[in-house]
Every structure is written in structure tokens, then in C-alpha cells.
């Protein structure tokens, strides 16, 4: 059991794709926790399937590394703005942060967000200029830009006097000066031991800890993770859990766990300063206080940022229900969402008392919600998802909506189109500058609903050369109506199997979402119309056969490959009268009302 002065607690924060997880790989490799012939692969901490596929960190991960006679607890945090709720809580667990900055790109929008949170909490960050071995790296410029950012965010004199080093997570070296030899990660380990303050706390005081992250185990139930603020905890010890109500619930500790490398290790006891996972409490949530049963204490609750987007999840009632999924009833969907709510506190799940066939799920952004929907889909769930809606607030009797701060970098030739499109979506330009390399940098304030679904159009307009990132800025008065999708859709008028002849005749009318041989049903969206109106089509119509055969009478048809939408693209594409049908094998688009006659009646209010 290490003494508090021999423990260092630190989190790694950065903009998305600036190399947090890769740097942690190098630290893990140098800690000699694995065999020499053990193949651990890349991005070891990204253990979740979707993290490996998307190439991003979604959940904060804990690890512990030995260095000389010190124990260094490191937490890898998500870089995407949608998962900023994870970052906010983690900062309460550590005594400093490693702020990673790309040696070429410099500070980016999410760098600003996570750094401001760290500075507000009084932490003194250590700046790591990463990827210094890249061809176009300019570490001196990036270091100056980072200092300017510290100043802009109101850092104190002590915070401005930050320690820094240069590193390459991919190659596996760190150095305090650019002219030093590139050997290994030891200089970074030494900097952490030197610059990160030891955790406060006295092992002789009564036990005290606040739950900052929650996990769930099928055998022991909910588990609370946090830093022990005071005292010592032993297996079998009686503790008190105090939630927002202020009424303590007493329980016995069944398990104490810590981290070592990629594994959890069970402990008999742990003391002040260490980060541990405690099991045994009946129910626990973020911000609850765990204290000695003889001296009950309640710490101030933790404020978590409110969700900004919501979707409605309902039972799949299409003709293809149950073809590929096993869990199709509302009871199973509700149980799965309630289980998610236990571990993912930044999601909000509400059931409508008047409508048992629908559940509203609210989150921080499209990706936040899409990760949950994709996870359920992989667990053989089948359901329908509505178009996302922004969550508005009533402030002083005026309707307010969420606003995003958008940072855009595009080649100068495309800047005019981007400005025109964002202005049409009620965006207000805050800043514009063009570098000597012909890259235009812009900042906009734009309603969240104006940004929904725009990212794909942005990549098309900029030929994939643009960068667009956004961060929640706050609430502003409602900006008025926004134009929706510019084009209509092609809707199947009958059920059946598509064929090449019908697809060939329809592809000149727009873009198809289906290919020959796909099963369709009435009311299913099979493509995008080239005009602004919806079009009923027969995508199952076969060629009329005759008994006359002659060379050249049959054309050799050439079909354009169909557009295959990802889950996020599909959710952003649909309108209010449409749904995304999510199944383990397929993602389909459909109208809420499948029958054409019923849709027309509904439009006329009959």
C-alpha cells in the first residue's frame, strides 16, 4: 500500500486525434508490465469495439504504472466534444493533467475546452508537444500558441509557469529540450514525478471518498470509482453511502480494486491518495459520498452538463420486424436503456406516461447518441429512431436553444461556399483569417439544429480537404425556422424484391439507397429524389418478357453503386415524418406512416 507522497494522479487531455492513447501505449510499453514477446497491438486502452473501429476514445480509462518507487495513476480521457461529460468528472480525481498539443496543428477547439476546465479547477497542467518527429512540425510556434491560449483563458501566474516537454507517442520518446537525444519515455515519467503534486489526505483520518465514475458488474452490481480523500478502506469494512437526499445508506465493502497496466487487481486495503473501485453498495450515482459508518459526511454534489439533443426510440413496427433481431419488445428495450443509465450518467432517459411505446433519450450530441444506438444494435436489438431534436430552455420567458461554436479550416477556394451555407443555417461569423499557405480559418456561432447533418455536405463541398469541429457554447434566443432537407425522397409503393431493370430506370431520377436483390416494403425510403418533392416509385418492377429473342434487343445495363449510409448519416438525414429502422443486419429509412393513402389523410388532417 503506497504512501500518499509516493502516488501521482494525472489525466491526459487533448483535442481529438492528437495522440493521447498512442502516447499512453508508449508509457505502458516502457513500464515493463508485458512480456517481451507479448503482442499488445496499437491503442491498448481502447478496449471497446466501437473505439477500435472509429479510432477515438469514448470512455475514460484508468491505468496505473510503476516508476522507480512511485505509483503513477493515469486516466486516458475522450477527445471528442460529445463525451466532454467524462472529462469534466475525471478532473476532480487527479492533481494535474498532461495537455497534449499536436506539434503541427497546435491548440484546437477541444484543447481550449478541456484546458479551461482544468484551469477553473486550479490544476497546473504539464504541456506535452506531441508528434515532434513529423515532417512539418513546428514545436516552438505551437508552444507560443499554447502559452497565448493559457493567457486568453485567464490562467494564474502559477499556471502560466507550466512545465513542458517534447514527445512522439508513436515512436516512443520524450525529451525536455529539442536538442536532446530521442531515447525513451523516461523524461516524461520524471517530469510527472517532479511537477505533479502528491495527493492530499491523511491515512489516519476516517475514510472519505466521492464517486466520480460508475461501472457495472453482473456479479457485484454497481461500482464506485474515485480518489480516496482521507483514511483507509479494508475489505468487509462498514461504510455509509450518502446521496443527494442526505440520508445515509450503510453497506459492507465486498471488493476493492485498483489498476495495474491493462488489468484490475484486487486489494485487501487501500489508503488516502489512491484511485480505487469499491463494490458492495446497493445503488450509487455520480457525486455520492462514501464515508466511514461512524462518521457520516456529505460532500457537495457534482454538476453535470445538461444534454442538448434528444431522440425518440420506439418499437419497430415495420413488416420486417423480427427478421434479424431477437430483442424487439418495448420491455427489453426499456430494460437495456435503464441498464445504460446506471453506468452512463450523462445520458438522460425519460418514459412518457401517456405513451408506453416510446422512450426519449437525451445526450450531448449526435455521436454520443449514435454510440448507444450502435451498441444496442450489436446486442441484437431492433427498434426505430426519430429525427434528433434540440432541447430548448425557457429563460426569462423567452425560448432559448443550444448554440455551437464552430471552427472551420478550408482551402481558400472553398471558403465562399462554406460561408454561404453556414449563413443560410443562421450561423454568425466571429472570426476569419487566411494563412500564407492559402488555408482560411473561420469561427462561427451557429444553432445546434443548423449543424445537424451538415458535416457530410461540408466534406463534399470541400472535397474532403476541410476540417470542421464544434463545441457547445451556451444558450441563445431561438433563431427562427431553418430550411430542412433540400431534396425529397423516393418511397417504395409496394413490397417485394428489387431488381436491376427497375434500379436502372430509377437511378436517373436521383440517388438509390438499395441494390438489386434487396427486400423492400411499402413506405420504405429507397433513394433520394433529384427534386424537392417526395416520389412514389416501384423499385420491384421487372422487365416485360416476350418470346422474341434477337441479338442486341437486351441492353447491357450499368448500375451506379447505391449510397450506403452510416447510422449517424441516417439519423441526420431523415425529416420529422420519417424514422430510421435499426436492426442488427440493416439500417433502413422509412416513413412514419407506411401507407400512401394514410399519409395523405394525415397531411389533410383527416
pLDDT in tens, 23-66: 887 888 777 665 444 444 454 444 445 555 555 555 667 788 88
Q: Compute the average pLDDT of residues 385-393.
A: 89
How long a stretch of residues is the chain? 606
* Helices (H), ranges, 180-246: 186-195
Question: Helix 366-378 and helix 330-343: axis angle, to 10°?
Answer: 120
Q: What is the CATH number of the domain that holds 427?
A: 3.30.70.240
Q: Binding residue per annotation — 130? A: yes
| Three-state SS at 52 | helix
* pLDDT at position 55: 56
Q: Binding residue per annotation — 18? A: yes
Lowest model confidence (mean pLDDT) among 24-38, 354-368, 404-418: 24-38
Q: Which of 414, 443, 477 is the last residue of a domain?
A: 477
pLDDT of 169 > 60? The answer is yes
In this structure, are 63 and 115 located in the same domain? yes
pLDDT of 16 > 60? The answer is yes
In this structure, are 118 and 181 located in the same domain? yes
In this structure, are 57 and 151 located in the same domain? yes
In this structure, are 179 and 33 located in the same domain? yes
Q: Which one of 33-37, 229-233, 301-305, 437-441 scores highest in mean pLDDT?
A: 229-233
Of the CA atoms within 13 Å of residue 268, those in its CB half-sphere come to: 1
Q: What is the CATH number of the domain that holds 549?
A: 2.40.50.250
Lowest model confidence (mean pLDDT) among 51-65, 139-153, 198-212, 520-534: 51-65
pLDDT in tens, 307-332: 888 899 998 888 988 888 888 888 89
CA distance 83 to 57: 9
Q: Compute the average pLDDT of residues 163-177.
A: 87
Q: Binding residue per annotation — 202? A: no
* pLDDT at position 33: 61
pLDDT of 546 > 70? The answer is no
In this structure, are 91 and 65 located in the same domain? yes
Is residue 350 a part of any domain in this protein? Answer: no
Is residue 443 a part of any domain in this protein? Answer: yes
Is residue 421 a part of any domain in this protein? Answer: yes
In this structure, are 182 and 79 located in the same domain? yes
Q: Binding residue per annotation — 21? A: yes
- Mean pLDDT computed over every residue of the chain: 83
In this structure, are 434 and 495 located in the same domain? no
Q: Binding residue per annotation — 133? A: yes
Q: Which of 195, 222, 252 is the last residue of a domain?
A: 195
The residue with greater pLDDT, 62 or 289, is: 289
pLDDT in tens, 107-158: 877 777 778 888 888 889 999 998 888 888 889 999 998 999 899 888 899 9
* pLDDT at position 44: 47
Q: Are 447 and 403 in contact (CB under 8 A)?
A: yes
pLDDT in tens, 570-580: 888 888 889 99
Is residue 42 a part of any domain in this protein? Answer: yes
Kindly tell me the sign of the dihedral angle through the C-alpha atoms of 283, 297, 275, 161.
Answer: positive
In this structure, are 70 and 141 located in the same domain? yes
Q: What is the CATH number of the domain that holds 215?
A: 2.40.30.10
Is residue 185 a part of any domain in this protein? Answer: yes
Residue showing cell 415495420? 318
Q: What is the CATH number of the domain that holds 114?
A: 3.40.50.300
In this structure, are 253 and 124 located in the same domain? no
- Confidence band, pLDDT 50/70/90 cuts, at residue 82: low
pLDDT in tens, 491-510: 998 999 998 888 888 888 88
Q: Binding residue per annotation — 20? A: yes
pLDDT of 190 > 70? The answer is yes
In this structure, are 150 and 185 located in the same domain? yes
Q: Which residues span the domain enclosing 217?
A: 208-292
Q: How would you classify the pairing of strands 164-168 and 126-130?
A: parallel
Grid coordinates belonging to 320: 420486417
How many C-beta atoms lie closer than 10 Å to residue 399's C-beta?
11
CA distance 411 to 419: 13
- Confidence band, pLDDT 50/70/90 cuts, at residue 552: low
Q: Binding residue per annotation — 246? A: no
Is residue 354 a part of any domain in this protein? Answer: no
Q: Are 226 and 272 in contact (CB under 8 A)?
A: no
* pLDDT at position 46: 46
Q: Which of 233, 263, 292 is the last residue of a domain?
A: 292
* pLDDT at position 501: 85
How many percent of the chain have pLDDT more than 90?
A: 10
The CB-based long-range contact list for 213-216 (8 Å cut-off, 24+ gap) reads: 213/60, 213/86, 213/89, 213/90, 213/93, 213/286, 214/284, 214/285, 214/286, 214/342, 214/343, 214/345, 215/277, 215/343, 216/339, 216/342, 216/343
Q: How many domains does the chain have?
A: 4
In this structure, are 17 and 145 located in the same domain? yes
* pLDDT at position 52: 52
How many percent of the chain have pLDDT more than 70?
A: 89
Is residue 245 a part of any domain in this protein? Answer: yes
Of the candidates 223, 296, 221, 237, the residue with the CA atom closest to the CA atom of residue 270: 237
Q: Are 78 and 371 in contact (CB under 8 A)?
A: no
Is residue 347 a part of any domain in this protein? Answer: no
In this structure, are 136 and 255 located in the same domain? no
Query: Is residue 11 exposed (0-12), middle (13-18) or buried (19+ Cβ within 10 Å)?
Result: buried
Phi, psi of 405 (to 5 degrees): -95, 120
Q: What is the 3-state secondary structure (H, E, C) of 24-41?
A: HHHHHHHCCCCCCCCCCC
Amino acid at each position: 500500500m503506497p504512501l500518499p507522497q509516493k502516488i501521482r494522479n494525472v489525466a491526459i487531455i487533448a483535442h481529438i486525434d492528437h495522440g493521447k492513447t498512442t502516447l499512453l501505449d508508449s508509457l505502458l510499453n516502457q513500464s515493463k508490465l508485458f512480456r517481451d514477446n507479448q503482442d499488445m497491438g496499437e491503442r491498448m486502452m481502447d478496449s471497446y469495439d466501437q473505439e477500435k473501429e472509429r479510432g477515438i476514445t469514448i470512455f475514460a480509462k484508468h491505468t496505473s504504472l510503476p516508476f522507480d518507487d512511485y505509483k503513477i495513476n493515469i486516466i486516458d480521457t475522450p477527445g471528442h466534444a460529445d463525451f466532454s461529460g467524462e472529462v469534466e468528472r475525471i478532473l476532480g480525481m487527479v492533481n494535474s493533467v498532461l495537455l497534449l498539443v499536436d506539434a503541427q496543428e497546435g491548440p484546437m477547439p477541444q484543447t481550449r475546452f478541456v484546458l479551461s476546465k482544468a484551469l477553473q479547477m486550479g490544476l497546473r497542467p504539464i504541456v506535452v508537444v506531441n508528434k515532434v518527429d513529423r515532417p512539418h512540425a513546428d514545436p516552438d510556434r505551437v508552444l507560443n500558441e499554447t502559452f497565448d491560449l493559457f493567457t486568453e483563458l485567464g490562467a494564474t501566474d502559477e499556471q502560466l509557469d507550466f512545465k513542458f516537454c517534447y514527445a512522439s507517442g508513436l515512436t516512443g520518446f520524450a525529451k525536455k529540450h529539442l536538442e536532446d537525444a530521442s531515447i525513451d519515455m523516461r523524461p516524461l515519467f520524471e517530469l510527472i514525478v517532479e511537477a505533479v503534486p502528491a495527493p492530499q489526505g491523511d491515512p489516519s483520518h476516517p475514510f472519505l471518498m466521492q464517486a466520480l465514475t460508475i461501472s457495472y458488474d453482473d456479479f457485484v452490481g454497481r461500482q464506485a470509482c474515485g480518489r480516496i480523500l482521507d483514511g483507509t478502506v479494508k475489505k468487509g469494512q462498514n461504510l455509509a453511502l450518502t446521496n443527494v437526499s442526505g440520508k445515509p445508506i450503510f453497506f459492507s465493502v465486498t471488493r476493492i480494486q485498483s489498476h495495474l497496466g491493462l488489468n484490475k487487481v484486487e486489494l485487501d486495503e487501500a489508503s488516502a491518495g489512491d484511485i480505487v473501485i469499491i463494490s458492495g453498495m446497493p445503488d450509487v450515482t455520480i457525486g455520492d459520498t462514501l464515508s466511514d459508518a461512524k462518521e457520516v459526511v456529505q460532500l457537495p454534489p457534482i454538476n453535470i452538463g445538461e444534454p442538448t439533443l434528444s431522440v425518440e426510440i420506439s418499437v419497430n413496427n415495420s413488416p420486417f420486424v423480427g427478421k434479424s433481431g431477437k430483442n424487439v419488445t418495448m420491455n427489453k428495450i426499456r430494460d437495456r436503456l435503464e441498464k445504460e443509465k446506471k453506468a452512463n450518467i450523462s445520458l438522460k432517459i425519460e418514459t412518457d406516461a401517456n405513451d408506453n411505446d416510446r422512450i426519449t433519450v437525451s445526450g450531448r450530441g449526435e455521436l454520443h447518441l449514435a454510440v448507444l444506438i450502435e451498441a444496442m444494435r450489436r446486442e441484437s436489438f431492433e427498434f426505430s429512431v426519430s429525427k434528433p431534436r434540440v432541447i430548448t430552455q425557457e429563460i426569462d420567458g423567452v425560448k432559448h436553444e443550444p448554440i455551437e461554436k464552430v471552427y472551420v479550416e478550408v482551402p481558400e477556394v472553398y471558403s465562399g461556399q462554406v460561408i454561404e451555407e453556414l449563413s443560410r443555417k443562421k450561423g454568425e461569423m466571429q472570426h476569419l483569417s487566411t494563412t500564407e499557405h492559402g488555408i482560411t480559418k473561420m469561427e462561427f456561432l451557429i444553432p445546434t439544429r443548423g449543424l445537424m447533418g451538415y458535416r457530410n455536405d461540408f466534406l463534399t463541398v470541400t472535397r474532403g480537404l476541410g476540417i470542421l469541429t464544434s463545441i457547445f457554447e451556451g444558450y441563445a434566443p431561438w433563431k427562427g425556422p431553418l430550411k430542412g432537407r433540400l431534396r425529397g425522397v423516393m418511397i417504395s409503393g409496394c413490397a417485394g424484391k428489387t431488381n436491376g431493370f427497375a434500379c436502372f430506370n430509377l437511378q436517373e431520377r436521383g440517388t438509390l439507397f438499395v441494390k438489386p436483390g434487396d427486400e423492400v416494403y411499402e413506405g420504405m425510403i429507397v433513394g433520394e429524389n433529384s427534386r424537392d418533392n417526395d416520389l412514389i416509385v416501384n423499385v420491384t418492377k421487372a422487365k416485360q418478357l416476350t418470346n422474341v429473342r434477337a441479338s442486341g434487343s437486351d441492353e447491357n445495363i450499368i448500375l451506379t453503386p447505391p449510397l450506403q449510409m452510416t447510422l449517424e448519416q441516417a439519423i441526420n438525414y431523415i425529416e420529422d415524418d420519417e424514422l430510421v429502422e435499426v436492426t442488427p443486419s440493416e439500417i433502413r429509412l422509412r416513413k412514419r406512416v407506411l401507407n400512401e393513402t394514410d399519409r395523405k389523410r394525415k397531411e389533410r388532417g383527416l
